[in-house]
Chains A and B, each alone.
Chain A
């Protein structure tokens, strides 16, 4: 194993996280490579130095602050809760619905029936049908109209 292949395994070797096969391979390399052996020792020292940093304790009020923020969270509502607006909106929506139904009902009613007796033309139909002066009028002749039009042109 070359030193460059060793690099990413040195830390695993130092903290004992290598698999058995990798560890044996590493030890075999270390037995013949002073540079990598030195690097392992230095990484061990760094690893140990990091242990010297003390831990800090969260402040006494930490739990209380978290619990207060959690308590202030709004309760989760189910999906239908979105359709439960305030009473005023419900009242307004109901009024609008009633108004729409009322208008719709009147707009769909049947038109008023007209009594035939109210139509004077129908009342005098018999008179008109047998009115003599109308029968004496000459009938229009389409051929004459066509001749007239050609002369005009």
Chain B
């Protein structure tokens, strides 16, 4: 980032290459819409570029990056919630377009373990929905902890809370997930 600050355009391209996938995945799991996640990720990179001259390396770059991303995601989730409230209940029910993004099953492939694929598909949907049902701050904490593997100090800075508050937040989130995913948890325990 210091090279980007010094005006090195090539370094910005490297940052983009390195962080685009983690960012898009984090935002996708926050907002549950691929197109929106990519738009938000673009906005994050644009803000990083705009702020390059004012960047002070007082914290890790990833902390700063995910702080921008988390704030954008939380705002977007709140905006979406208000938008959904305005949608008529009479609107036709459509299939969840986002489910298609992660589908690996293709019947045309005629793989022998189709049943296994179906089971896995159902499990993935359960996990996704369980994460989606978490309050947004708990969801962000779980995603940053589990998928970005940031330490407690970094996550607490991103979410602007103390480390002890973060640990409570994560505990409550895992408790909710444990209850929501109880059948899968029990199944794993039997294995």
Which A residues are closer than 8 A to B by beta carbons?
Answer: 7-12, 15, 17, 41-43, 45-50, 52-59, 62-63, 65-67, 69-70, 73, 76
A15 to chain B: which residues have CB within 8 Å? 145
Interface status of B160 (Cβ within 8 A of chain A): no
Q: A46-B178, A48-B188, A69-B46 are in contact. List 15 more A-B contacts (CB 8 A).
A: A7-B171, A8-B171, A10-B171, A11-B145, A17-B152, A50-B146, A52-B124, A53-B29, A53-B102, A53-B131, A56-B25, A56-B34, A62-B38, A63-B20, A66-B16
Contact A11 B170 (CB under 8 A): yes
Contact B12 A70 (CB under 8 A): yes
Of B41, B53, B178, which one neighbours A76 at CB under 8 angstroms?
B53
A-B interface contact total, Cβ < 8 Å? 108
Most chain B beta-carbon contacts within 10 A, residue among A7, A43, A70: A70
List 10 tightest A-B contacts by C-beta distance, closest first: A8-B167, A45-B188, A45-B185, A58-B24, A46-B177, A66-B45, A42-B178, A50-B146, A58-B20, A70-B49
Give chain A nearest CB distance to B143 CB in angstroms: 9
Residue of A nearest to B187 (CB): A45
Q: Is the interface of B mostly helix, strand, loop or mixed?
A: helix
CA A30 to CA B169, docked complex, whole Å? 22
CA A9 to CA B174, docked complex, whole Å? 12
Categorize the interface residue count of chain B: 35 or more
Contact B127 A52 (CB under 8 A): yes
B46 to chain A: which residues have CB within 8 Å? 66, 69-70, 73
Contact B101 A56 (CB under 8 A): yes
Interface status of B42 (Cβ within 8 A of chain A): yes
Contact A66 B189 (CB under 8 A): no
Contact A54 B146 (CB under 8 A): no
CA A24 to CA B50, docked complex, whole Å? 47
Q: Is the interface of A mostly helix, strand, loop or mixed?
A: helix
Contact (A62, B127) CB under 8 Å given A45-B184, A46-B178, A70-B49:
no
Interface status of B62 (Cβ within 8 A of chain A): no
CA A45 to CA B131, docked complex, whole Å? 15
Residue-wise interface mask of B (128-172) relative to A, using a CB-CB cutoff of 8 A (1 in contact, 0 not): 100100000000001001110001100000000000100110110
Residue-wise interface mask of B (98-128) relative to A, using a CB-CB cutoff of 8 A (1 in contact, 0 not): 0001101000000000000000100110011
A63 to chain B: which residues have CB within 8 Å? 13, 16-17, 20
Contact A11 B174 (CB under 8 A): yes
Give chain A nearest CB distance to B136 CB in angstroms: 17
Contact (A46, B41) CB under 8 Å given A58-B21, A63-B17, A73-B50:
no
Give chain B nearest CB distance to A42 CB in angstroms: 5
Residue of B nearest to A8 (CB): B167
Residue of A nearest to B21 (CB): A58
